[in-house]
C-alpha cells in the first residue's frame, strides 16, 4: 500500500470509531467501549478494502470503490453483530447506513474535490536517466 492508501485506511478506521463513539454516547454508554462496538464494522471495513484491491485493483480511496467499502462495512458489521448477539434494531440499521455512508463516502468526495491526501506513488519507480555530460555535445 502506498502512503495515500494508508492515509485513507486510517481515515476510514477513525470514521468507524467516531460512529461507534457517538452511538455509545447517544445511549449514555461509556465511549471507552467504542473500539469494541466498532470491531465488527472494522472487520467489514477490512474485507471491503480487500475486495476492492483484489477484485478491481483500484484504490479504495476513490469514490466509486469507497461505496463498495461502505456497503461491505455496513453489511458485514451488521451480520457480525447478529452472530455475536448484539443489537440490530431497524432504527440502528437506518442510522448506521446513513452515518457510515456520510463518513466513509463523504471524505472521499471531499478528497476528490480538494486532493488533501498525498499523491499516489507509481507502482515502481522509473529507471533513472543518465545525466547529460559536456562530452555529449
pLDDT tens readout for residues 1-51: 899 999 999 999 999 999 999 999 998 888 899 999 999 999 999 999 999
pLDDT tens readout for residues 75-94: 999 999 999 999 899 999 99
Cα separation values, 60 from 22, 65, 81, 91, Å: 25, 5, 24, 28
pTM across the whole model: 0.84
Distance, in Å, from the CA atom of 103 to the CA atom of 113, rounded to the nearest integer, reads 16
Amino acid at each position: 500500500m502506498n502512503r495515500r492508501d494508508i492515509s485513507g485506511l486510517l481515515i476510514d478506521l477513525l470514521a468507524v470509531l467516531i460512529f461507534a463513539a457517538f452511538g455509545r454516547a447517544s445511549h449514555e454508554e461509556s465511549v471507552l467501549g467504542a473500539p469494541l462496538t466498532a470491531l465488527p464494522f472494522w472487520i467489514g471495513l477490512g474485507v471491503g478494502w480487500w475486495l476492492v484491491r483484489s477484485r478491481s485493483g483500484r484504490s479504495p480511496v476513490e469514490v466509486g470503490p469507497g461505496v463498495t467499502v461502505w456497503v461491505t462495512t455496513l453489511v458485514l458489521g451488521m451480520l457480525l453483530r447478529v452472530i455475536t448477539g448484539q443489537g440490530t434494531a431497524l432504527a440502528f440499521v437506518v442510522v448506521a447506513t446513513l452515518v457510515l455512508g456520510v463518513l466513509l463516502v463523504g471524505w472521499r468526495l471531499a478528497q476528490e474535490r480538494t486532493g488533501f491526501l498525498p499523491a499516489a506513488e507509481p507502482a515502481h519507480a522509473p529507471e533513472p536517466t543518465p545525466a547529460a555530460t559536456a562530452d555529449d555535445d
